Structure 1
Amino acid sequence: MKKLLFVLLLFMSMGMQAQTPLTLEEIYTGAFRAKGMDELQAMKLSNQYTVLNTDRSTRSQQIDLYDYATLKKISTLLDTKNHQALSEGIDSYTFSSDEKQILIANNSSPIYRHSFTADYYVYEVATKSLRKVLEQVQEPIFSPDGTKIAYAKSNNLFIYDLASGQSTALTTDGEKNAIINGITDWVYEEEFAFVRAFDWSKDSQKIAFIRFDEREVPEFSMDVYGKNLYPNQERFKYPKAGEKNALVSLHIYDVKTGAKKEVNLSQYNDFYIARMRWTNDANVLCAQVLNRHQNNLDLLFIDGTTAVAQVVLNEKDKAYVDVTDNLTFLKDNSFIWTSEKDGWNHIYLYDKTGKLKNQVTKGNWEVTAYYGFDEKTKTVFYQSTENGSTLRDVYRIGLDGKKKVKLSNQAGTSAATFSPNFEFFIHSYSSATVPPTYTLNQAKDGAQVQRIVDNSALTEKLKKYDLPTKEFLVITTEKGHQLNAWMIKPKNFDATKKYPVFMYQYSGPGSQQVANDWLDTNDYWFMMLAQQGYITVCVDGRGTGFKGAAFKKCTQKELGKYEVEDQIDAAKVIGSYAYVDKNRIGIFGWSYGGFMASNCLFKGADVFKMAIAVAPVTNWRFYDSIYTERYLQTPQENPSGYDENSPINHVSKLKGSFLLIHGTADDNVHVQNSMQMIEALVQANKQFDWAIYPDKNHGIYGGKTRLQLYTKMTNFIKEKL
């Protein structure tokens, strides 16, 4: 009997040793990074695509051309080892319309989240010649005829003539923190997610651009400490909720004559130009104009000669209207548009006058990506949540809304890049248990032709870690709300034990954290915590996305109220599980999630034992106008919506352990949020922990920063939970 017991214990010991523990060093130095297809671009004039490949042995990069039908490499269009000027690599590249020239960016220098300056080279595909054309400029783009490049520099717009090598200024009044031509200001870039605010007409004869007058926008200052004796101070225009925005105007420049016309938008007051581009008609410009509350959107068509605008489509909503990037013009200038107007995001077809022709997709599910329209077969290709809000599948459907075909067949997250002739698509797929794979599939029925890239090496590498899996579930709160969730339990889970629970969430409007796709870096951290005896849970509460407009927009004017209720109520449900120690529940979040974690610990003081808040908004009055007012309107109109839901006003309720973290160079959620929170906590005589990262932005990274940060957070969890 003793011998049998010894053998059994030895066997169990060997089994336990088989699980190699994850380390923070591995996680945050990219040891588990999945392979992908970098800079995949479908060509427009041939049934081909390009990929930016890297040869680590020669420390070079190649833009390689492949055939969609066979996946065979046709040629290497450019190899950096043949061009000393590109020895530092290729940051990005774009083709001219005729695909005979490539505009290549390198030596990029970031500005904010999306914006950067870079040096640019033009590469002639036929002659393999490379020449530097522009230094440290923004957003250059070929004219459709391939003879010129429009670009921005120092808040002005220019046209570079490829034949003469000369630049012509379109504007001359650009000035830092005053006037910006053709590039968005800080708040547009962050919240409307675009930088290039200029566009060529299809005949290369005109350029339309947005001008920002931000002279009356309040200025924010930020110290940059560096290593010098005295710090530098960065100053930039940042409109906080209720403050003045930049005055925007829309202009059309005639390339031949140099004449400029301003589009008459005098019917609008305190408005946003959220999108702008030329249509297929070379003389028709379109723009999406939003009122300040963002609950009224006009799609304008503007005559390129007279600069006269007319409204062709209007959308209103009691909460807000989302700007769409899925506006697609057909040959006759009729257009495809996506909208939530029936309560779910769907595809609509309008004629060129704005008259509705057809609602293409319908149902209690959301279109999550629009992939394109095949003129030959009158077919639309898209991605949706038709099989569940945590899943993504690829479909084709007739423009008349008939003959729908599901093109993906694996439960998880599928996405597609279609060939120019819409005969094939590159199918990317992953799930919580399957790392990303890329296959070639037929567009008519989704049938797989062959595999392109998989991550079998990563799968094999992970075997020794014997990682736990994400379990997907629906949590029903005491109030009856059904919320998507995932849970990661220790691999050696024992239902008779009581486990501490570490909750993670983001919870921002329209966001989603509970999705059946491959692991991100945080997921490996959560699994490391599971190896150390913690259960990790993520819950998407009310206000998050992909479950219809009503679910997403119910938080309107009360940002943070219902989301916090749902996290507290979900924690109570989880705490009732027999295997959970309800006295040891913690919560963590970053940015909006940091705002949530703070509020949950303060308002749910009897539920949560600890919280970690990274880069949190602590008072919505401190955050930018476009984002905050979309959901709360202005502080002048809705003061209680701001103050009742801002954690800085609830510090007196703190009972548990609190770790507050922020970077001093956060241009997005200013460190002011944490500094004022710290003062409020001090004056409430509350003990807490905090960490400030000098000169780090909203992402808090660089060098060993992430490793040090996650080590600090891990130690805090072990000590306090």
Structure 2
Amino acid sequence: MSDTFPRQYARTQRFSLGVPRDFAVVGGGSHVLFLRSSGPDDPVNALWALDTSTGSERVVVDPRELAKDIDGEMPAAERARRERVRESAAGITSYATSNNELKVAFPLGGELFVADLVNETCVTIENSTGAFDPRLSGDGQLVSFVVDNSLRVAPADGSKPATTLIAEDTAGVSWGSAEFVAAEEMRRNRGHWWDPTSRKLAVTRVDLADVNVWHISAPNEPTDTPRAISYPAAGTNNADVKMCVIDVSDASQVEVDWDRQSYPYLVDVTWGDNEPLTLTVQTRDQRSMKILEVQADTGETVPVTEIVDPDWVEIVPGTPRRWRDGWLTIQEHGATRALLHNGAPISPPDQWVRSVVDLDETTITYTASVDPTTIELWSYGEDGNKLHSDGDGVTYANGSHSVLVTQRSSMDHATTTTVAKGDDQWVIDSFAAVPLVEPDVRFHQTGPSQSHTAVVFPTVDFKDPLPILLDPYGGPHAQRVMKSRNSYLLSQWFANQGFCVVITDGPGTPGRGNGWERMIRGDVATPILQAQIEALQAVGELYSGKVDPSRVGIRGWSFGGYLAALAVIRRPDLFHAAVAGAPVTDWRLYDTHYTERYLGHPDLEPDNYKNTSLLEEAEKLQRPLMLIHGLADDNVVAAHTLQLSAALLAAGRSHEVLPLSNTTHMTPQEEVAENILLLQVDFLKRNLATTPVSDNI
């Protein structure tokens, strides 16, 4: 059977297999660790190390040689972690390192392992069945990890079995792991941190007693008991999160005291060398974020800085961060998002700063955008701000100890990974597949708002005007229009089926200043949809004679699914068919931290929820709509699609529903992922009457 793009796209997990990932600089800069599978069809990641003195690579741990069943008996907490970070690979998918020791801890096949790079050994930690989220002490002598709702500690050399440090019999209480909204929305995927002396741990206690319990069922398996989940929907109770400092020698504990009533969200925790335990906490309305220093012996906290914003304070991982005599923050300042030191901007006013990569006493390395479609590497030091990338691509980086790992892509090439130390530089090979399609993308700024828009035509000749297919995400925290080649592979394949594909980043998306993100506060529907309409109209004018505005489809997943359904319901005069995958249909059913950031608390601002609910407008549907939803989705639960379908049925509105059994918010199963693409194309062709222009199915 000849290969096809949908099959290749599904089999390679969106061309992610074989790509080096998850980098960590260890051993004072002597090595760079990373994960990579053996090839484009291999989902099993091994742990690799690059020696920065020679540039040589070696496999540290091959999971196939270590465990008979590499994904057997996966703990529920590990499955949840993978869902939160959208992890679909196998083998080693996460690991923890010590500050300076060349040791690595990782769960595999339901057990915990610790590898020693110096001795080239790998030991199994006894009494670790069900291990999740291991963390090595700074001296590399101990490893802590979660099993079920308890926190355990063991010698990292495997010389003694693990023992329970803290546990509690109270139903719904867990120690040492992150609650749902922390992992899903705050990017905090952990719940325990070692102190610099390796004698104490800061540990979260999460109590779910007051959180709504929902149930995820498997209708295709009627004998299975529905799975209960604690889901903090907008306007309802969050988990109650506390923190204790626990002495590992005797399990004595001191509770950390802060105003949890006013600042219930624990955003981040750090406990670095020669630094106090430090918490970042946030109010429920997310308009204030404080940094608290903790006296570990007493639990007392002292606020050291605060960030406030009339709309919301954005969480930027890795900041706030100490530097010299004060604090580095990335926050809204004037017309942009700036890098600030003690409140004063140190990035130029034309930059929109995205992250701090690394720093020492003299220099800060960071990423920022001048053009929202690119991300570049910059530094700030005694000579001011300097650009370190070529200005026409997308760069991500991390580093420490004078070692910099850079991942860069552009419209000319897929991601390349470079490790630099001093004058030495090495490229880490990617074993990813070569895609069967080659993107041909044209960039524009469309409409009065000048939204960044990408237009993709078929790569073969066509005679008749093409139907237009909008392919947005459109929502906060994500950009689609970036100068990165692989971002357009799927859109190119859709174009080759006989469409002009249009991708637009409207208000609410990152990368632009002048209140661009804040325009959606209180309304995640109207301004975002308007940007799509403006892009559609602009493309019709720019490519008059090549496109047919009387045949317009729109497709999307998650927020993009919401936007697709919204478009076809509100503007049937412009949008003639829609595919909505895993759409939010009623924002009261989505989580607190994300939803209340943009729409406020539903008890205080109920109209924001009513005016953005698809259920309220279901009777307006006049055009073909396909709804797709994974029945095991615990992020955007299937109730969203089922309630919209019920409202459409009650209004007598025809529509199609494609339920995906045993599928979550991701679609990792190869057959499912491939066939979803084919079914979408079939639906769009049926309802937009396209003419085939390519045999590349």
Q: What is the TM-score of this pair, normalised by structure 2?
A: 0.88
The verdict on how the C-alpha distance between 1:84 and 1:556 changes in structure 2, with shifts beyond 3 A counting, is: closer
When the two chains are superposed, the root-mean-square deviation of aligned CA atoms in Å is 3.0
Q: Of the two structures, which has the highest relative contact order with CA contacts closer than 8 Å and spacing of 6 or more?
A: 2
Question: Mean Cα displacement is larger for which, 247-256 or 667-676?
Answer: 247-256
SS at match of 1:224: coil
Residue 311 of structure 2 is aligned to residue 319 of structure 1: yes
Distance change (3 Å), C-alpha of 1:426 and 1:308:
closer
1:522-533 equivalences in 2 (<5 Å): 523-533=488-498
Letter in 2 for 1:420: H
SS of match in other structure, 2:226 = strand
**Aligned AA for 1:619?**
D
Once residues 515 and 42 of structure 2 are traced to their aligned partners in structure 1, the CA distance between those partners, rounded to angstroms, is 54
- 2:168 aligned to which of 152, 160, 173: 173
* 2:105–2:114 CA contact under 8 A, matched in 1: yes
**Amino acid in the other structure paired with 2:28:** L
Q: What pairs with 1:20-169 in structure 2 (closer than 5 Å)?
A: 23-30=5-12, 33=15, 35-52=18-35, 54=37, 63-68=47-52, 70-73=54-57, 77-78=60-61, 83=66, 89-107=91-109, 118-133=110-125, 134-162=128-156, 165-169=160-164
Q: How many angstroms does 1:439 deviate by? A: 3.9
Cα distance, 1:681 vs structure 2: 0.5
- Corresponding position: 1:391 with 2:374: yes
The CA deviation at 1:395 is: 1.6
Worse overlay, 322-331 or 244-253: 322-331
Q: CA deviation at 1:575?
A: 3.2
The structural deviation recorded for 1:515 is: 0.6
Q: Which amino acid aligns with 2:410?
A: S
Give the corresponding residue for 1:14.
none
1:704 to partner: Cα distance: 1.1
- Measured after TM superposition, the shift of residue 323 of structure 1 is 1.9
Structure 2: which amino acid aligns with 1:373? L
In structure 2, what is the Cα distance between the partners aligned to 1:409 and 1:300? 39
Task: Give the direction of change, closer, same or farther, for the CA distance of 1:413–1:244 in structure 2 (3 Å limit).
Answer: same
Q: Note if contact 2:599-2:608 (Cα within 8 Å) is conserved in structure 1.
A: yes
Report matched runs for 1:294-443 at 5 Å: 294-327=286-319, 334-350=326-342, 356=343, 358-375=344-361, 378-386=362-370, 388-398=371-381, 402-409=383-390, 411-418=392-399, 420-422=401-403, 425-440=404-419
Deviations 1:17-42 (A, max 9, x none): xxx99542233222983653244332
Q: Does 1:250 align with 2:243?
A: yes
* 1:221 Cα deviation after fit: 1.0
Name the CA distance, whole Å, in 1 between partners of 2:316 and 2:200. 24
Name the aligned partner's letter for residue 280 of structure 2: Q
Tell me what 1:601 maps to. 568
SS in 1 for 2:492: helix
Partner Cα distance (2:65, 2:170) in 1: 39
Whether 1:536 and 2:501 are equivalent positions in the alignment is: yes
Secondary structure of 1:141's aligned partner: strand
Write the distance in 2 (CA, Å) between the matches of 1:150 and 1:168.
10
| C-alpha distance 488-60 of structure 1, shift in aligned 2 (>3 A) | closer
Superposed counterparts of 1:675-694, under 5 Å? 675-694=642-661
Note if contact 1:557-1:641 (Cα within 8 Å) is conserved in structure 2: yes
- Cα distance change, pair 681–71 in 1 and its aligned pair in 2 (3 A): same
- How far does residue 711 in structure 1 lie from its aligned partner after superposition? 1.4
Q: Are positions 1:472 and 2:458 aligned together?
A: no
**Does 291-300 or 331-340 show the bigger shift?**
331-340
Q: Distance in 1 between matches of 2:589 and 2:44?
A: 45
Deviation at 1:610, TM superposition (A): 0.5
2:454 aligned with 1:489, yes or no? Answer: no
Q: Which secondary structure state, in structure 1, belongs to the residue aligned with residue 548 of structure 2?
A: strand
1:545-595 Cα offsets, whole Å, 9 max, x none, are 110261001110112221112222322333344122111011111111111
Whichever residue aligns with residue 472 of structure 1, its letter is: F
SS in 2 for 1:545: coil
Contact 1:326 1:337 in 2 (8 A): no
- In structure 2, do the counterparts of structure 1 residues 362 and 207 end up closer, same or farther at CA, with 3 Å as the change threshold? same
Structure 1 position 197 matched with structure 2 position 191: yes
Of residues 272-281 and 86-95 in structure 1, the stretch that sits farther from structure 2 once superposed is 86-95
State yes or no: 1:290 paired with 2:272: no
Q: Name the residue aligned to 2:269.
A: 276
Flag the 1:175–1:493 CA change in 2: closer, same or farther, 3 A. Answer: farther
Cα distance, 1:147 vs structure 2: 2.1
Once residues 564 and 60 of structure 1 are traced to their aligned partners in structure 2, the CA distance between those partners, rounded to angstroms, is: 40
Q: Secondary structure at the match of 2:674?
A: helix
Q: Is the 8 A contact 2:200 2:246 kept in 1?
A: yes
- Alpha-carbon separation, structure 2, partners of 1:336 and 1:529: 44
Deviates more, 1:605-614 or 1:690-699: 690-699
**C-alpha distance in 2 between matches for 1:385 and 1:188:** 27
How far off its partner does 1:650 sit?
Answer: 1.0
- Paired with 2:323 and 2:507, the residues of 1 have a C-alpha distance of 41
Structure 1 residue 102: deviation in Å?
2.5
Which residue of 2 is the match for residue 17 of structure 1? Answer: none
* C-alpha distance in 2 between matches for 1:549 and 1:431: 26
CA distance in 1, matches of 2:45, 2:535: 48
| Kept in 2: contact 1:279–1:333 (CA 8 A) | no
Is 1:213 aligned with 2:207? yes
The CA distance in 1 between the partners of 2:4 and 2:43, in whole Å, is 30
Structure 1 residues 416 and 292: CA distance shift in structure 2, 3 A: closer
Cα 1:59–1:302 shift into 2, 3 Å:
closer
Three-state SS of the structure 2 residue aligned to 1:536 is strand
Question: Distance between the aligned counterparts of 1:594 and 1:573, measured in 2?
Answer: 22
State the Cα distance separating 1:132 from its structure 2 match. Answer: 1.1
CA distance in 2, matches of 1:518, 1:291: 39
> In structure 2, which of residues 520, 530, 539 is the aligned counterpart of residue 565 of structure 1?
530
Alpha-carbon distance between aligned partners in 2 of 1:267 and 1:186, rounded to the nearest angstrom: 18
**Cα separation, 1, equivalents of 2:569 and 2:38:** 52
Change (3 A) 1:322 1:645: same
CA distance in 2, matches of 1:85, 1:245: 40
Do 2:619 and 2:651's aligned partners in 1 also have CA atoms closer than 8 Å? yes
Residues of 2 paired with 1:405 and 1:699: CA distance? 39
Give CA deviations for 1:638-669 in whole Å, capped at 9, x if unaligned: 11111111111112221211111111111011
Contact 2:294/2:301 (<8 A) preserved: yes
1:5 is matched with which residue?
A: none
Which residue identity lines up with residue 359 of structure 1 in the other structure?
A: P
2:513 aligns with: 548
CA offsets per residue over residues 234-289 of structure 1, 9 Å max, x none?
1111111111112222222123343212222247336211112224335x211111
The CA deviation at 1:225 is: 4.2
Q: Which runs of 5+ in 2 are unaligned?
A: 72-90, 689-697
AA partner of residue 173 (structure 1): E
Identity %, equivalent residues? 23
SS of structure 1 residue aligned to 2:681: helix
Q: Tell me which amino acid in the other structure corresponds to 1:169.
A: T
Q: 1:124 Cα shift? A: 3.3
The Cα shift of 1:427 comes to 3.4
The residue correspondences of 1:706-717 to structure 2 (distance < 5 A) are 706-717=673-684
Alpha-carbon distance between aligned partners in 1 of 2:65 and 2:227, rounded to the nearest angstrom? 40
Contact 2:289/2:307 (<8 A) preserved: yes
Q: Is the 8 A contact 2:101 2:138 kept in 1?
A: no
Partner secondary structure for residue 40 of structure 1: strand
Q: More displaced, 589-598 or 182-191?
A: 182-191
Q: Quote the Cα distance in structure 1 between the aligned partners of 2:341 and 2:387.
A: 21
Q: Tell me, what secondary structure is at the counterpart of 2:365?
A: strand
Bigger mean CA deviation after superposition, 92-101 or 709-718: 92-101
Preserved contact between residue 52 and residue 421 of structure 2 (Cα < 8 Å): no
1:405 partner amino acid: K
Evaluate the alpha carbon distance shift between residue 157 and residue 454 of structure 1 in structure 2; reply closer, same or farther with a 3 A threshold. Answer: closer
Q: Deviations over 1:676-721 (max 9, x none)?
A: 1011101111111111112211113324111121111110011111
